[in-house]
């Protein structure tokens, strides 16, 4: 007769709950999806970083010393309309003659079509294409206000005001035009304000 010691009682493996297998499959699927998502994110991130290093770091804004005469147009290429914005008679005609003697091209000469009375020296009115011409004219009419308008052409207007006393001396203009000034250029520069 066998004793219990000789033949131990064998217990069977406990039965698995029926929900365990679907839960394990779902957890495994989530882990696989997470790994795939992480790999795709890494690949996309590294390819966009290496594909366009230039776009990630735009060109800097560089400031260099440049004489205005190197970047501004010659007076002989600038057309100026001269307007009188004061009650003084003949001021536009006299100013137009002085500007023509300094090689500017003269357009219209009349009373201010905007019918403004300018208390200061003058207004230099210009559009986007006439910005450099307006900057040049400012050397000749120091103290004038630059006024950007929506005009399309490169012609500039100078509307003479009450405190205008004549064009600046040519010798002083030549000295200022030859004197280097800091000019910022490059895509990262803020837009210049008129």
Assigned domain for 36 exists: yes
Are 38 and 113 in a shared domain?
no
Are 43 and 103 in a shared domain?
no
For the stretch 111-149, pLDDT in tens is 999 988 899 999 999 999 999 999 999 999 999 999 999
Assigned domain for 146 exists: yes
Are 94 and 146 in a shared domain?
yes
Are 31 and 89 in a shared domain?
no
Assigned domain for 117 exists: yes
Assigned domain for 98 exists: yes
Owning domain of residue 35? 20-48
- Contacts with 21 (C-beta within 8 Å, 6 or more apart), sequence order: none
For the stretch 54-64, pLDDT in tens is 445 556 777 77
pTM: 0.62
Distance CA 90, CA 109 (A): 10
Q: Report whether pLDDT(19) > 90.
A: no
For the stretch 143-179, pLDDT in tens is 999 999 999 999 999 999 999 999 999 999 989 888 8
CB-based burial of residue 111 (10 Å sphere; 0-12 exposed, 13-18 middle, 19+ buried)? middle
3-state secondary structure 60-86: CCEEEEECHHHHCCCHHHCEEEEEECC
For the stretch 35-77, pLDDT in tens is 777 777 777 765 544 444 444 555 677 777 788 888 899 999 9
Distance CA 33, CA 41 (A): 12
Assigned domain for 8 exists: no
Are 85 and 176 in a shared domain?
yes
DSSP run (H or E) holding 22? helix 20-51
Are 135 and 181 in a shared domain?
yes
Q: For tokens 């200022």, what's the residue?
A: 176
How many domains are contained in the chain? Answer: 2
Are 70 and 117 in a shared domain?
yes
Q: Can you count the helices (H) and strands (E) in the chain? A: 6, 7
Are 32 and 118 in a shared domain?
no
Assigned domain for 61 exists: no
State residue 9's pLDDT score. Answer: 59
């Amino acid at each position: 007769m066998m004793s219990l010691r000789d033949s131990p009682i064998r217990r069977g493996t406990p039965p698995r709950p029926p929900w365990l297998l679907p839960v394990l499959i779902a957890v495994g699927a989530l882990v696989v999806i997470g790994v795939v998502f992480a790999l795709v994110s890494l690949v996309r991130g590294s390819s966009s970083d290496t594909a366009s290093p230039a776009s990630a770091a735009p060109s800097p804004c560089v400031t260099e010393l440049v004489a205005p005469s190197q970047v501004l147009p010659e007076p002989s290429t600038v057309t100026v309309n001269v307007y009188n914005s004061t009650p003084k008679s003949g001021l536009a005609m006299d100013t137009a003659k002085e500007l023509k003697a300094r090689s500017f091209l003269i357009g219209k000469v009349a009373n201010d079509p905007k019918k403004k009375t300018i208390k200061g020296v003058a207004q230099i009115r210009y559009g986007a294409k006439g910005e450099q011409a307006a900057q040049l004219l400012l050397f000749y009419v120091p103290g004038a206000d630059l006024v950007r308008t929506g005009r399309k052409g490169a012609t500039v207007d100078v509307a003479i005001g009450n405190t205008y006393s004549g064009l600046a001396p040519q010798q002083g203009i030549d000295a200022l035009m030859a004197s280097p000034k800091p000019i910022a250029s490059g895509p990262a520069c803020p837009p210049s304000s008129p």
